[in-house]
Structure 1
Amino acid sequence: MEDDLFSTIGNGTQIESKVTNTFQKNFVQVQNILDQNKLLINEINQNHESKIPVNLSRNVGLIRELNNNIRRVVDLYGDLSNSFAKSMDASSEGESASAAPTKSDGRGGQKRIRSNG
């Protein structure tokens, strides 16, 4: 299903394999980080419930690691968003080269003429 999503986005426009590979790579990285975060959260909770001073002080480092992981996930999603936007820009540039004729809309802009069919 994911392959279908990435191969036909935006009116059947095919995204280049480089962009698709970037998406897949980033999604795998995000999932790995989220899996690691789950383990960190479990350990933090266990340490907190134990109320043992050494475990509680260890939580400081674990929470820092968790925060850093969350930052990495945000960065990866930002990269995904940028890659997607760039691919859509490139896709629409290809479409505009073969776009339908335009006419003035009376406001200084151009208006696309729709074809019936």
Structure 2
Amino acid sequence: MLVCKEMELSLAVDPTNSGGKTTKLMETESDDDEECDGEAWEMLNKGLKEVQNALDENRLLIQQVNENHQSMISDNLVKNVALIREINGNILKIRGVYSGISVSLCNFVHRRGVIKKGIGKVEFADL
């Protein structure tokens, strides 16, 4: 017998998170201990929070770059080089987090499939 319950997950990819948007995901459980792995949800939540923090930081950095550009003061324009490099670094960090999430979720799905087939236990990849 399958039992479904709803879970809410904040949309961390919305840099403004306007209106506190959430999306509902369905989690299925069965009487055969096929509960959703809390470790996977924790990893996903941690990764999305990290992405949101980097996006928030980039939003502030972009505002500063725009203010510096509008001022047309040469020192402020020089500062933009470092700010843009920091923005680029945050984008690379976001890419890395999404890549890690993807690998971990693939490992989770693979592990669940192996366990369902009774082949044995596969360990979650440490990232």
| Structure richer in helix, relative to its length | 1
The one-letter code of the counterpart of 1:2 is L
Unmatched 5+ residue regions in structure 2? 1-7, 11-23, 120-127
Task: Name the counterpart of 2:51.
Answer: 30
Unmatched 5+ residue regions in structure 1? 99-117
Q: Which has the larger radius of gyration?
A: 1
Q: Structure 1 runs of 4+ off > 6 angstroms?
A: none
Task: Name the counterpart of 1:82.
Answer: 103
Task: Name the counterpart of 2:9.
Answer: 2
- Could you tell me which of 85, 96, 109 is aligned with 1:64? 85
Contact persistence 1:15–1:87 (CA under 8 A): no
The one-letter code of the counterpart of 2:9 is E
Q: What CA distance in whole angstroms lies between the structure 2 residues aligned with 1:8 and 1:41?
A: 41
Identity, in percent, stands at 33
Count of residues in Structure 1 that have an aligned counterpart in Structure 2: 95
Q: TM-score, normalised by structure 1?
A: 0.73
RCO comparison, higher one (Cα < 8 Å, 6+): 1
Contact persistence 1:6–1:14 (CA under 8 A): no
* RMSD of equivalent CA atoms: 2.3
Contact persistence 1:6–1:15 (CA under 8 A): no
The one-letter code of the counterpart of 2:43 is T
| Structure richer in strand, relative to its length | 2
Task: Name the counterpart of 1:106.
Answer: none
